[in-house]
Amino acid sequence: MVDAQPRFFIVAGEQSGDVLGAGLIRALRQRYPGARFEGVTGPLMREAGCETLADIEALSLFGISEVIGQIPRLLRLRRRLFERVVATRPDAFIGIDAPAFNTGLEMRVRQRGIATVHYVCPTAWAWRQGRTKSIRKAVDLLLAIFPFEEAFFRRFDIPVTFVGHPLANELPLHPDSTSARRALELETDAPLLGLLPGSRRSEVSRLGPVFIETARWLQARHPQLRFVAPMATPAVRELFEAQIAEAGADLDIRLIDGRSREVMRAADVLLLASGTATLEALLAKTPMVVAYKLSAMNYAIARVFNLIKTEHVSMPNLLAQRTLVPECLQQQARVSVLGPEVERLLESGPARAAQTEAFDAIHQQLACDADERAANAVAALIEARR
């Protein structure tokens, strides 16, 4: 049996990593009440009892230009963390997401004989499959939050365990749309379309206008239809408001700061950008149409170099391993395609039922107590090495 006072070093990236890290820490503490935790943390991890060597914001970077400007600082941070790991010899180093930062650190740590775990699989199944070589060298254990990832990484002889997704345990299997509408002060009896054009200005700049025009097209055919759009940031709201004004004042879209999960539960149908929001929409059991547009340059690069390795891009379709929700990408993200797809889901017909029934099954598959399963896998790894 492992010592009652094991030490864990955890490096988490972004808010989602803070959530995963906090849940894992709590589950490990149930096994090892005297365990010690330190690393790169967010507020939830600190609340769970993890000592902070650096704040999670240090790794929360977006965009190539932002990352390039921070490379010297990131290298200094990684060197400082490595030196600390070598000095303290934890029972396990656990990197949570942030593969660009963590994989190189995990590789060096593992070379020093310290067990390494990476929580949240890098998306090598979608693009740059060559990364599997460095992942295999870097980790003793990969913790997968989606079931299809386990089969993929095993093909490359990488030890991997599917643990499930914590969000699936957090959100109810049968959401209450009426209470969500009341909480948002929305009409409870009118049909409602949720518009989620993205969480970044670059996404909204490309998808906002076509979402607005699609809403106008639908309103002309369904005058009783109402529209609501959760805004991720003040900058996104400012841009989307300008796009609505440019399109004309005859369209009433209720904008709400944040609260996207409540909007997802309240809506009858969602028109949203491809991304992590599609998983939350699935767990809200709301039928959806997914759209996305890359910049012309990025799309050309992706096509020329065949960077996208999956048939589908949205999480519902990846999890279902089939075309479950419509994906309208690039030139298909236009009113003449989006409008009829949304209209079809507004009806209580087979298209709507097919989505919601599949969402229920996927939710149950993902809701397998990820914190507990992840802690079990980490505990088994360090016990086997003692």
Q: Tens digits of per-residue pLDDT, 352-379?
A: 999 999 999 999 999 999 999 999 999 9
Mean per-residue pLDDT, 184-204: 93
| Lowest-pLDDT range of 22-31, 65-74, 121-130, 377-386 | 65-74
For residue 304, name the pLDDT band (cuts at 50, 70, 90).
very low
pTM of the model: 0.85
Architecture field, domain 177-366:
3-Layer(aba) Sandwich (3.40)
Euclidean distance between CA atoms 105 and 90, whole angstroms? 14
- pLDDT confidence of residue 199: 86
Q: Mean pLDDT over all residues of the chain?
A: 90
Query: What are the distances in angstroms from CA 85 to CA 53, 114, 237, 373?
Result: 11, 9, 42, 25
Q: Where in the chain is the domain with CATH 3.40.50.2000?
A: 7-164+368-385, 177-366
Please give the CATH topology (third level) of the domain spanning 7-164+368-385.
Rossmann fold (3.40.50)
Pairing outcome for strands 192-196 and 226-231: parallel
pLDDT higher than 60, residue 307: no
Euclidean distance between CA atoms 359 and 77, whole angstroms? 41
List b or e across 225-252, with b for residues whose CB sees 16 or more CB atoms inside 10 angstroms.
bbbbbbbbeeebbebbeebbeebeeeee
**Closest residue by Cα to residue 346 from 267, 254, 230:** 267
The residues pairing with 196 across neighbouring beta strands, listed in sequence order, are 272
